[in-house]
C-alpha cells in the first residue's frame, strides 16, 4: 500500500517511474521514516536551505551507470542523473499507516487495529497480549515505526497495563520463520485437515477438531 501511495505522490514529477513498483519500493525503504511528531516535521520540511534537515535527493536507477537508486551525498553532483527530491514525502507517506483518514480511507490505524483485536479477547488475556506485541512485515523496518506503535498503543491502553512492542532483526520474514518452526514440529501433522476432509465435512469439522 505505501509503495503505491508513494508512486501517486511523486508521479507528477517523474512519470516514467509510475510502473516501476520495485523502484519506488526501494525508494521507500531508503528514504522513508515514521515521524514521532508529524506537525513538527512538517514545519521543518517547509523551510528552505540548510534549515531543512529532512530533504533528500534520491537518485533513480538509469540501468546504465546506476543499477539501484540511492540517496545522494551532499557533495555529489546530480547533473544528468534522474533524481527525485524527497521532502515531506519521507514521513507523510508512512503516516498513512497510522492515520488512513488523511487520504480518505475510513479505517483504523495500526494502533487502533491492535487495540481492537486485543479488545475482542477475554479480559484476562489482554494484559499479556499488550506486553507482547510483535511487529512483522516490511514496513516494520521503517525507522521510528516501533517507537510510534508503542507510543500510540500506550496512549490507548489502560494505564495499569504494561505495553511492550518487540521487533525482530528481520521483520520481513519473521512470520515465515514462525511458520517454518511450526511446520517442522512433530505435532504439526495433527493440526492439518485435508482438502477432501474439508469438502466432505465442512467448517464444522475444523471447529470440532481444533476446539474452536
In the chain, the percentage of residues whose pLDDT exceeds 90 is 54
Mind listing the pLDDT tens digit for each residue in 118-165?
Answer: 999 999 999 999 999 999 999 999 999 999 999 999 999 999 999 999
Residue 58 pLDDT more than 50?
Answer: yes
Mind listing the pLDDT tens digit for each residue in 179-208?
Answer: 898 888 888 877 788 888 888 888 888 887
Alpha-carbon distance 129 to 158, whole Å? 13
Residue 210 pLDDT more than 50?
Answer: yes
Residue 1 pLDDT more than 80?
Answer: no
- Quickly count: other Cβ atoms within 10 Å of residue 1's Cβ: 11
Whole-number pLDDT of residue 5: 66
User: Between these two residues, 70 and 15, which has the higher pLDDT value?
Assistant: 70
Alpha-carbon distance 208 to 47, whole Å? 62
Alpha-carbon distance 2 to 5, whole Å? 5
Average pLDDT, the chain: 87
Residue 12 pLDDT more than 60?
Answer: no
Whole-number pLDDT of residue 8: 64
Alpha-carbon distance 191 to 177, whole Å? 18
Alpha-carbon distance 200 to 205, whole Å? 9
* 93 closest CA partner among 196, 212, 210, 4: 4
Residue 50, C-alpha cell as written in the block:
540548510
Whole-number pLDDT of residue 135: 95
| Strand-pair category, 165-167 with 56-59 | unpaired
**Mean pLDDT within 80-104:** 91
Global pTM exceeds 0.85: no
- Quickly count: other Cβ atoms within 10 Å of residue 36's Cβ: 12
pLDDT band, very low/low/confident/very high, at 18 (cuts 50, 70, 90)? very low
Q: Which residue has the cell 519506488?
A: 24
**Mean pLDDT within 96-116:** 93
**Mean pLDDT within 79-85:** 85
**Domains of the chain, each with CATH number or no CATH:** 2-95 (3.90.640.10), 100-167 (3.30.420.40), 174-209 (no CATH)
User: Between these two residues, 66 and 131, which has the higher pLDDT value?
Assistant: 131
Alpha-carbon distance 97 to 110, whole Å? 6
Torsion of CA 119, 120, 122, 125, to 10 degrees: -60
Mind listing the pLDDT tens digit for each residue in 115-124?
Answer: 999 999 999 9
Amino acid at each position: 500500500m505505501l509503495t503505491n501511495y508513494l508512486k501517486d505522490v511523486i508521479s507528477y514529477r517523474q512519470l516514467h517511474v509510475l510502473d516501476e513498483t520495485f523502484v519506488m519500493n526501494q525508494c521507500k525503504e531508503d528514504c522513508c521514516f515514521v515521524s514521532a511528531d508529524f506537525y513538527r516535521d512538517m514545519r521543518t520540511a517547509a523551510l528552505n536551505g540548510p534549515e531543512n534537515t529532512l530533504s533528500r535527493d534520491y537518485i533513480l536507477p538509469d540501468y546504465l551507470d546506476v543499477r539501484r537508486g540511492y540517496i545522494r551525498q551532499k557533495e555529489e553532483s546530480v547533473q544528468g542523473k534522474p533524481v527525485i527530491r524527497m521532502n515531506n514525502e519521507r514521513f507523510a507517506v508512512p503516516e498513512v499507516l497510522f492515520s488512513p483518514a488523511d487520504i480518505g480511507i475510513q479505517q483504523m490505524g495500526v494502533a487502533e487495529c491492535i487495540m481492537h483485536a486485543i479488545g475482542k479477547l477475554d479480559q484476562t488475556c489482554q494484559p499479556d497480549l499488550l506486553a507482547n506485541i510483535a511487529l512483522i512485515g516490511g514496513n516494520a523496518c521503517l525507522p521510528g515505526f516501533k517507537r510510534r506503535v508503542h507510543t500510540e498503543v500506550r496512549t490507548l491502553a489502560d494505564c495499569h497495563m504494561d505495553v511492550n512492542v518487540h521487533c525482530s532483526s528481520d521483520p520481513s520474514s519473521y512470520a515465515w520463520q514462525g511458520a517454518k518452526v511450526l511446520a517442522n514440529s512433530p505435532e504439526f501433522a495433527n493440526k492439518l485437515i485435508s482438502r477432501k476432509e474439508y469438502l466432505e465435512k465442512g467448517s464444522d469439522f475444523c471447529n470440532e477438531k481444533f476446539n474452536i
